[in-house]
């Protein structure tokens, strides 16, 4: 029997793409309280098929697949470029496939415009009109307006026409930056991408006998199984350790480990791997906000995911990467060194290196040294900075990481930073090693 919450989710899922959703309307249509309707709408938003879009409202959207994460909706473009909508507001939930800069003759420009594009152009009314007719949205730069005829056409076709006060180059750069940020997120593999789904996960009920666990071990060649109630809510986990010394007639609820450690689908695999290593567990149940089982994550799944990401081309312009791009790696008498200059971007309001930047440099140097000894991902566990001195902008600094201790799971590194012969920074970094 489905709950009211599940019935509302199913109702929302069946709505056409682009449908407006309101708490009051759903409460009225399905005869539920507004609180129940609100919680279901928020759950649908978490699952990615409902979005609350500024200036539009809450809308049923197409669920974004992982491979399409780099795409933006037109509503997001409005926010990115501080724009305002001149027409076609009903199409703000749509996704743009590419953008075209209209800095060429009209005939040449139209060869590049197709449905789902965004034309970035100035006050060229004819270009606005033809782009809309070809199924593309329009972004007008320089703060210009357009004609009433074109606004009406945009409304009729449900294709947004947006105006921004920025120039064309700035607008294109802002949209590119937003897409690039999403590509960085795309590289972060989430639990939902690699878990074994519920349909493929054997589960036990608390009333099942231990004999059924023995049957499952032969059938599935595994020894760890989640235990769920009749609503598929996780209540325990049972492994070979739990079974030892118990008769086959004993029930699972008497032997299982209650309230096991869990994770959620929207947690990164690296974070879950850290938890599994730290807690010494091989199987991590994945549950939703209502503790319903959605799948399981095994240590093998984690290792495969980390191996996969290691093979991907690295294009992340993350802050640690940007900071370390100012340093070059050298070796002196078999010791690893990092030499670099304090750039203006690395300083605080006093013109000296910011303490956060200095800490990042020391942590990155420590983790890089550990990677020379162990293949895997380094997760800093403890950073103890016990000496810092001001370092002026454009100063040359030398970072010297020194290995103190390393095991299969942990590494400890002392890092010293010198400006000439003067010690200006010192820290102790302990990191957990997640082997690939």
Residue 12: CB atoms within 10 Å: 22
Query: Which is nearest to 248 in space by CA: 213, 201, 274, 287?
Result: 213
Residue found under tokens 């730290």: 278
Write out the residue limits of the CATH 3.10.129.10 domain(s) in the chain.
Answer: 319-435
Write out the residue limits of the CATH 3.40.1390.20 domain(s) in the chain.
Answer: 74-185
* pTM (predicted TM-score): 0.43
Homologous superfamily, domain 74-185: HprK N-terminal domain-like (3.40.1390.20)
pLDDT (tens, 9 = 90+) of the chain, 436 residues, equals 567 888 888 888 888 888 888 889 998 889 888 888 888 888 888 777 788 766 667 888 776 544 444 467 888 889 888 899 999 999 988 888 788 888 777 877 777 888 888 999 989 999 999 999 999 999 999 999 999 999 999 999 999 999 999 988 788 878 877 776 665 555 567 888 788 888 889 999 999 999 999 999 999 888 999 999 988 999 999 999 999 889 999 999 999 999 899 998 888 887 788 788 777 888 999 998 888 999 999 887 777 776 655 544 444 446 787 788 889 888 887 788 999 999 888 888 888 899 999 999 999 999 999 988 887 778 888 999 999 999 998 899 999 999 999 988 899 999 999 999 999 999 999 998 876 5
| CATH number attached to the domain at 319-435 | 3.10.129.10
Write out the residue limits of the CATH 3.10.580.10 domain(s) in the chain.
Answer: 192-309
CA atoms within 13 A on the CB side of 45: 14
| CATH number attached to the domain at 192-309 | 3.10.580.10
CA atoms within 13 A on the CB side of 192: 12
Question: Could you say which architecture CATH assigns to the domain 4-60?
Answer: Orthogonal Bundle (1.10)
Residue pair 191/267 in contact (Cβ under 8 Å)? The answer is: yes
């Amino acid at each position: 029997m489905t709950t009211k919450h599940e019935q509302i989710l199913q109702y929302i899922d069946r709505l056409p793409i682009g449908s407006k959703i309101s708490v009051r309307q759903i409460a009225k249509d399905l005869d539920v309280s507004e609180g129940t309707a609100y919680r279901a709408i928020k759950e649908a938003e978490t699952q990615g098929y409902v979005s609350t879009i500024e200036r539009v409202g809450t809308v049923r959207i197409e669920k974004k697949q992982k491979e399409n994460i780099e795409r933006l909706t037109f509503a997001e473009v409005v926010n990115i470029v501080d724009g305002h909508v001149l027409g076609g507001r009903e199409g703000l939930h749509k996704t743009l496939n590419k953008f075209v800069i209209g800095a060429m003759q009209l005939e040449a420009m139209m060869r590049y415009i197709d449905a789902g594009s965004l034309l970035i152009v100035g006050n060229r009314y004819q270009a606005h009109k033809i782009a809309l007719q070809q199924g593309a949205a329009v972004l007008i730069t320089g703060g210009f307006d357009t004609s009433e005829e074109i606004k009406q056409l945009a409304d009729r076709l449900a294709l947004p026409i947006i105006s921004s006060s920025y120039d064309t180059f700035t607008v294109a750069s802002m949209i590119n930056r937003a897409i690039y940020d999403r590509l960085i997120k795309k590289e972060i593999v989430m639990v939902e991408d690699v878990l074994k789904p519920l349909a493929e996960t054997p589960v036990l009920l608390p009333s099942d006998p231990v004999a059924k666990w023995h049957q499952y071990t032969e059938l599935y060649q595994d020894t760890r199984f989640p235990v769920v109630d009749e609503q598929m809510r996780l209540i325990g986990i049972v492994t070979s350790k739990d079974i030892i010394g118990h008769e086959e007639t004993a029930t699972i609820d008497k032997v299982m480990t209650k309230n096991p450690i869990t994770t959620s689908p929207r947690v990164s695999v690296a974070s879950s791997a850290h938890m599994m290593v730290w807690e010494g567990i091989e199987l991590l149940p994945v549950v939703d906000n209502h503790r319903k089982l959605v799948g399981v994550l095994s240590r093998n799944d984690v290792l495969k995911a980390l191996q996969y990401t290691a093979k991907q081309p690295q294009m992340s312009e993350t802050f640690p990467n940007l900071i370390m791009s100012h340093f070059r790696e050298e070796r002196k008498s078999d010791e690893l060194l990092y030499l670099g200059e304090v750039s203006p971007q690395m300083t605080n309001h006093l013109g000296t290196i910011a303490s956060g930047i200095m800490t990042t440099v020391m942590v990155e140097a420590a983790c890089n040294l550990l990677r020379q000894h162990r293949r895997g991902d380094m997760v800093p566990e403890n950073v103890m900075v016990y000496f810092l001195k001001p370092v002026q902008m454009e100063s040359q600094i030398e970072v010297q990481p020194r290995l103190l201790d390393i095991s299969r799971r942990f590494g400890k590194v002392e890092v010293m930073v010198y400006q000439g012969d003067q010690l200006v920074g010192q820290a102790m970094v302990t990191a957990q090693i997640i082997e690939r």
